[in-house]
Structure 1
Amino acid sequence: MTAPPSAKPSSPCTKVCVLDARTGLCEGCGRTRDEIGLWGSLPEPRRQAIMATLPERLARAYPGRGALTR
């Protein structure tokens, strides 16, 4: 019997992959370089916890930019 295929990890990626040198955040999703690099190896609950912080993180980093719609 074979194991079922793993579910694809959830991701906040918006395909706007630009790391801001000033903030250290991806301008598209708000993750740090380390978070992006480790993303596939993080357990789903940790990914969900990080994703819950991203809207506020982006709002603090880029005030006045407006909410990103996904």
Structure 2
Amino acid sequence: MAKKIENPCVSICQLSGGLCVGCGRTVEEIRQWKAMKRPEKMKTVKRADERLKKISRD
């Protein structure tokens, strides 16, 4: 059985331009999280991480 993908929420739920500054997910990704299958969750976590890295560089 595949390992569960943990929710990337870090309890810093602040939106800026439709993006959570805590976890890096979009509003839509946050809404859809529970309904997502494992591959979708993996892609979402990767995109969110890339967004957070970009934010920290700016």
Q: TM-score, normalised by structure 1?
A: 0.66
Q: Unaligned regions of 5+ residues in structure 2, if any?
A: none
Whichever of the two has the greater Rg, that structure is 1
Question: Percent identity over the alignment?
Answer: 36
Q: TM-score, normalised by structure 2?
A: 0.78
When the two chains are superposed, the root-mean-square deviation of aligned CA atoms in Å is: 2.0
Q: Which has the higher contact order (CA 8 A, sep 6+)?
A: 2
Give the number of aligned pairs.
56
Q: Unaligned regions of 5+ residues in structure 1, if any?
A: 1-7, 65-70
Which of the two has greater strand per residue? Answer: 2
